Structure 1
């Protein structure tokens, strides 16, 4: 019986891998941080990656790590879903984000682009693991669904409020007693406090605006919503030297 977020989401993403790639082919074609299609070549949130060892958390089929492969010294991605990993190439590892299979101080940069962090019981544990494998002074960047998005219905045309922003109980789906999908919710303040508790210094918080020429919906992300309020929050941080 699946009783944990990890078990449920491993099975969910294994089963959804084909449909996910069919639905989001443009987004998965390169290193885009978010449904607003912010590309790393333009944003440069990772900084100069030349000669750097980089780790991606929750890489899925690893379009981001693939883009980095010829630019960095080493780009490694890991994900809990073998179904997703089998669609990628390169230095890919199957692992749970609650326990990184890497040694201390082994990477210059660690990042996540909508991977793993919203899908675990303890996002703080993921951040602590990221801090553990980062070298002193290393950079950490995570892009997640904007916490304000949580309150709205999962519908790109709806502005109906469905949940309380302050309800941290998360979202779950069950088949009988078996947990089949799970997603956590934290407020913006929670996210910042977790970063600080894990030992990071917060450098920036980006809320990408919806591009004028982008008309394609991405799940609940749409131009209708995106022109009014943010759908993505990107945290840029570093470890002290």
Structure 2
């Protein structure tokens, strides 16, 4: 749920490697972490579990099922809010994030809440855990949209999950790729092809360095990715915009949310 556009950048659409994506998005989140937590921290909750800008929580949706006594990994954990929720409910929640600054915020919240989330700095394409270490792996608007080598990332999740384990993740709904990232009525007019998978790239004008990358996959792409790594899709949740919800978060808003989905939550199980 990245909703910033720095000054003095130009937007491009072009292919970007996994290394280039990682080198851009890690420092980008380091720069943005303080603003992100200040702006959205209260909405997310220090030990809360929000699946998307619509505000639907894990208490409401029950995507993960019972976490008590389970080993649970959050990929793209940020400040660990969701993993802290898991720990508060008897699960053994662990976090992983590419951003050093986000993990510093996680340590801050560990101290403030008294609920510590063991976390490591790392990438979703190289999870630093032994095979079959976890019962559940989840990602709430975390790393997946920022990865070029998504096939390898999904295979890494399969590697660290135990047979029958659950993999759940929320992303920007793939149909949003067709529309400008605008919370007002301009964001309701399709301007590009849903099937154009060319990454969105922000380049720093001064240095020419790639500063931010986001990758697009269609709904069908995600289904094939999961099946190719041994997952069985159990559910695809498309949360509706609550009638009384007025929060604007980047391109998410009531204006758009009442008419078109903004979030997709995939729920899958690893074959036994």
TM-score by length of structure 1 reads 0.96
Indicate the residue corresponding to 2:237 in structure 1: 206
Aligned to 1:216: 247
Counterpart of 1:4 in structure 2 is: 20
Query: Could you tell me which residue of structure 2 aligns to residue 228 of structure 1?
Result: 259
Q: How many angstroms does 1:3 deviate by?
A: 5.8
Alignment: residue pair count: 240
Aligned partners of 2:265, 2:158: CA distance in 1, in Å? 17
Relative to structure 1, the CA distance from residue 163 to residue 72 in structure 2 (aligned partners, 3 Å threshold; closer, same or farther) is: farther
Instruction: Give CA-to-partner distance per residue, 1:178-219, whole Å, 9 cap, x none.
Output: 111000001111111101111100000010000011001111
Are the equivalent residues in 2 in contact too, given 1:3–1:179 (CA < 8 A)?
no
The alignment partner of 1:69 has SS state of: helix
1:161 maps to 2:190 = yes
Q: CA deviation at 1:23?
A: 2.1
SS where residue 27 of structure 2 aligns?
helix
1:240 equivalent to 2:240? Answer no
Contact kept, 8 Å, 1:124 with 1:194, in 2: the verdict is yes
Aligned-pair distance for 1:27? 3.0
Aligned residue for 1:121, secondary structure, equals coil
Q: 1:114 & 1:80 partners in 2: Cα distance?
A: 14
Aligned to 2:88, the other structure's residue is in SS state: coil
- Per the normalisation by structure 2, the TM-score is 0.85
Q: Any gaps of 5 or more consecutive residues in structure 2?
A: 1-17, 111-116
Which residue is equivalent to 1:20?
Answer: 36
- The residue correspondences of 1:190-205 to structure 2 (distance < 5 A) are 190-205=221-236
Give the structure with the higher percent helix. Answer: 2
CA-based RMSD of the aligned residues comes to 1.3
Q: In 1, Cα distance between the equivalents of 2:91 and 2:239? A: 29
2:177 is the counterpart of 1:150 = yes
Structure 1, gaps ≥5 residues long: none
1:183 aligns with 2:214: yes
Aligned-partner SS, 1:86: helix
Contact map agreement 1:3 1:178 (CA 8 A) in 2: no
Moved more, 121-130 or 202-211: 121-130
Moved more, 95-104 or 162-171: 162-171
**Residue among 95, 113, 118 paired with 2:140:** 113
Structure 1 101/149 Cα, relative in aligned 2: closer, same or farther at 3 Å?
Answer: same
Residues 156 and 225, structure 1, Cα contact 8 Å, conserved in 2: yes
Task: State the partner residue of 1:68.
Answer: 86
Match among 123, 130, 149 for residue 96 of structure 1: 123
